[in-house]
């Protein structure tokens, strides 16, 4: 991914925020410590770390939001189309390289509704480009965190002064998520006015605090919600049950990888899903567009008949060229190449990554890797026993300066990579996860930080 620092114009919302922040820090030196305290009180922690050591949100314009909306919703629609195509066409399915048990789960008949009730695209938004690194189609983390963090920033003393000049919009992620979950429940044939929801994942995951946020907010909106470890679920032959309560809707945050790796612990969930006795969102079919080979399906000319001319143009402009690593011939923007020779020759322009990992695991950035280490990464990709690897072209990334709380009470300005990730609930843009990193990878599990995203526009001061 190309380093492309984005200078802040002197009258940009970010610079206006900085101008407000600097004198306020002198008057209120306790501000960083107060921010950390409020985050911990709001469960905005990942393990023991607070989510946001930064003192500025990310700002986007209405024009940026509309551009992202158009492209992201198109890609989500293509994800659902590829699901249907793969289930009907073995050749398309084979290109995704799902494991045997994942394919079995994906082929379990389910009712109406999308494969991915909740999804997230990882993007880099620059003034002259919008490119996506991958598609998280499997119940991505963070909407509860993002909404709670935006609420805290909305109450910071800087915001009052900032809002005199700008109209500021924040995103109601949890309400939109709940609405999407309930619609998927109804699509599955569910009829309860207030279905019992279970948020399902392992008790030991570091994101458990987000489930507590979501539980409180869902219940405040009138929907009974409990948290359940898969090992607590029971299948009585008719219903999925936990703690004596029948579950109507399982908001599945436990990964399909874990369901495959721990079949005994997850047996009740799978049996209830197979019997159609519970709505599970996201469905197991979401694995089809979730794997990173999905982008290889999108960008391979052999699949062009799946997409319209305008959709192919969106793919060309916004999805990086991607291929499964193998000793084959392929096309690179119309030019036939020997793939392995191409990967070796174009190291500075390429990324290698496993098709089915998360948190940046295994990602090798060619421009940060020596020739010998790159050759080792290629060999790992070719000999991997548990799934395939992909090669993907480097894309431009965004960098901005953010006020960083180095130690509580000490603030400096650091240039950070900005990973701007739109959430899509039933294919509609509903908000954003914005992650910052000083390295080439931006994700919470590898140590990146998070800031809220606000849509801003200048107030009309003519009146």
Q: Give the H/E segment covering residue 39.
A: helix 31-41
Q: In the beta sheet, which residues pair with residue 17?
A: none
**Residue for token pair 């939001």:** 65
What pLDDT, on the 0 to 100 scale, is given for residue 212?
96
Greatest alpha-carbon pair distance for the chain in Å reads 68
State pLDDT tens for residues 308-353: 999 999 999 999 999 999 999 999 998 999 999 999 999 999 999 9
Coil, helix or strand at residue 431: strand
What pLDDT, on the 0 to 100 scale, is given for residue 438?
84
What pLDDT, on the 0 to 100 scale, is given for residue 408?
64
What pLDDT, on the 0 to 100 scale, is given for residue 2?
40
User: How far apart, in Å, are the Cα atoms of 309 and each of 68, 226, 298, 315, 445?
Assistant: 19, 46, 13, 10, 38
Provide the CB-side half-sphere exposure for 148 (13 A, CA). 25
State pLDDT tens for residues 336-347: 999 999 999 999
Q: In the beta sheet, which residues pair with residue 425?
A: 118, 428
**In this structure, are strands 453-458 and 129-136 parallel, antiparallel, or unpaired?**
unpaired
Residue with the bigger pLDDT between 2 and 92: it is 92
Predicted model pTM: 0.93
State pLDDT tens for residues 10-57: 579 999 999 999 999 999 999 999 999 999 999 998 767 889 999 999
Average pLDDT of the chain is 93
- List domains and CATH numbers for the chain: 2-290+415-458 (3.40.50.1760), 321-392 (3.30.1490)
Positive or negative CA dihedral for 434, 437, 443, 444? negative
The torsion angles phi and psi of 453, rounded to 5 degrees, stand at: -110, 135
């Amino acid at each position: 991914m190309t380093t492309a620092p984005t200078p802040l114009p002197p009258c940009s919302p970010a610079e206006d925020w900085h101008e407000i922040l600097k004198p306020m820090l002198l008057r209120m030196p306790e501000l960083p410590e107060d921010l950390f305290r409020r985050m911990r009180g709001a469960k905005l922690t990942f393990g023991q770390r607070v989510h946001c050591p930064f003192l500025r949100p990310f700002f986007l314009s209405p024009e940026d939001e509309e551009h992202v909306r158009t492209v992201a919703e198109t890609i989500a629609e293509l994800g659902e189309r590829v699901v249907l195509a793969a289930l009907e066409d073995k050749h398309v399915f084979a290109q995704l390289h799902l494991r045997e048990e994942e394919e079995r789960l994906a082929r379990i008949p389910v009712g109406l509704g999308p494969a991915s009730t909740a999804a997230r695209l990882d993007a880099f938004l620059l003034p002259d480009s919008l490119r996506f690194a991958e598609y998280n189609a499997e119940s991505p983390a963070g909407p509860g965190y993002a909404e709670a963090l935006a609420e805290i920033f909305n109450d910071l003393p800087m915001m009052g002064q900032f809002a005199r000049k700008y109209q500021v919009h924040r995103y109601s992620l949890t309400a939109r998520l709940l609405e999407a979950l309930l619609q998927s429940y109804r699509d599955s044939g569910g009829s309860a006015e207030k279905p019992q929801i279970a948020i399902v994942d392992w008790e030991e995951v570091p994101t458990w605090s987000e489930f507590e946020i979501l539980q409180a907010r869902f219940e405040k909106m009138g929907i009974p919600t409990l948290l359940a470890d898969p090992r607590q679920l029971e299948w009585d032959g008719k219903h999925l049950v936990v703690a004596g309560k029948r579950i109507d809707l399982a908001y599945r945050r436990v990964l399909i990888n874990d369901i495959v790796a721990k079949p005994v612990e997850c047996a009740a969930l799978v049996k209830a899903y197979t019997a159609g006795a519970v709505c599970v969102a996201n469905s197991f079919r979401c694995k089809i567009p979730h794997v990173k080979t999905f982008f290889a399906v999108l960008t391979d000319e052999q699949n062009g008949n799946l997409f319209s001319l305008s959709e192919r143009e969106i793919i060309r402009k916004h999805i990086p060229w991607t291929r499964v690593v193998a000793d084959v011939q392929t096309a690179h923007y119309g030019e036939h190449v020997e793939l392995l020779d191409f990967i070796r020759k174009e190291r500075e322009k390429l990324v290698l990554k496993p098709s089915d990992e998360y948190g940046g695991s295994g990602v090798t950035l060619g421009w940060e890797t020596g020739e010998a280490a790159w050759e080792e990464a290629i060999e790992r990709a070719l000999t991997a026993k548990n799934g395939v690897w992909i090669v993907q072209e480097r894309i431009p990334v965004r960098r901005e300066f953010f006020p960083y709380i180095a130690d509580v009470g000490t603030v400096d300005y650091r240039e950070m990579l900005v990973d701007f990730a739109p959430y899509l609930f039933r294919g509609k843009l509903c908000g954003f996860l914005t992650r910052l990193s000083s390295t080439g990878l931006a994700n919470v599990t590898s140590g990146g930080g998070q800031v809220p995203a606000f849509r801003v526009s200048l107030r009309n001061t003519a009146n």
